[in-house]
Protein backbone atom coordinates (compact mmCIF):
# COMPACT_ATOMS: atom_id res chain seq x y z
CA UNK A 1 0.00 0.00 0.00
CA UNK A 2 1.00 3.60 -0.42
CA UNK A 3 2.68 5.26 2.53
CA UNK A 4 4.06 8.74 3.08
CA UNK A 5 4.75 10.74 -0.12
CA UNK A 6 3.59 7.83 -2.33
CA UNK A 7 0.63 7.93 -4.72
CA UNK A 8 -1.41 5.10 -6.22
CA UNK A 9 -2.47 4.95 -9.88
CA UNK A 10 -5.77 3.56 -11.20
CA UNK A 11 -3.96 0.31 -12.04
CA UNK A 12 -2.48 0.17 -8.50
CA UNK A 13 0.92 1.47 -9.69
CA UNK A 14 2.85 3.12 -6.85
CA UNK A 15 4.73 6.35 -7.60
CA UNK A 16 6.74 8.91 -5.64
CA UNK A 17 5.15 12.32 -5.05
CA UNK A 18 8.51 13.91 -4.07
CA UNK A 19 12.17 13.39 -4.94
CA UNK A 20 13.85 11.27 -2.31
CA UNK A 21 14.81 7.85 -0.96
CA UNK A 22 12.36 4.94 -1.23
CA UNK A 23 12.06 2.61 1.77
CA UNK A 24 9.70 -0.03 3.13
CA UNK A 25 8.22 -0.18 6.63
CA UNK A 26 9.57 -2.90 8.91
CA UNK A 27 6.61 -5.17 8.14
CA UNK A 28 7.24 -4.57 4.37
CA UNK A 29 3.58 -3.74 3.77
CA UNK A 30 3.95 -0.03 3.12
CA UNK A 31 6.18 1.88 0.68
CA UNK A 32 7.41 5.33 1.75
CA UNK A 33 9.54 8.06 0.19
CA UNK A 34 11.80 10.16 2.43
CA UNK A 35 12.00 13.63 0.88
CA UNK A 36 15.42 15.06 0.05
CA UNK A 37 16.08 18.75 0.63
CA UNK A 38 17.09 20.50 -2.59
CA UNK A 39 19.32 23.57 -2.07
CA UNK A 40 17.92 26.81 -3.44
CA UNK A 41 19.77 28.47 -6.31
CA UNK A 42 20.43 32.14 -5.57
pLDDT in tens, 1-42: 788 888 889 998 888 888 888 888 777 678 888 887 777 776
Q: What value, to the nearest 5°, has the Cα angle with vertex 31 and ends 19 and 6?
A: 45
First to last CA, the chain: 38
How much is the pTM? 0.65
- pLDDT for 21 equals 85
| Residue 42, pLDDT score | 63
Burial of 33 per CB tally in 10 Å (0-12, 13-18, 19+) = buried
Find the angle CA(1)-CA(37)-CA(31) to the nearest 5 degrees.
10
Amino acid sequence: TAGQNVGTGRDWTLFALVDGKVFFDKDSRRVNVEAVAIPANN
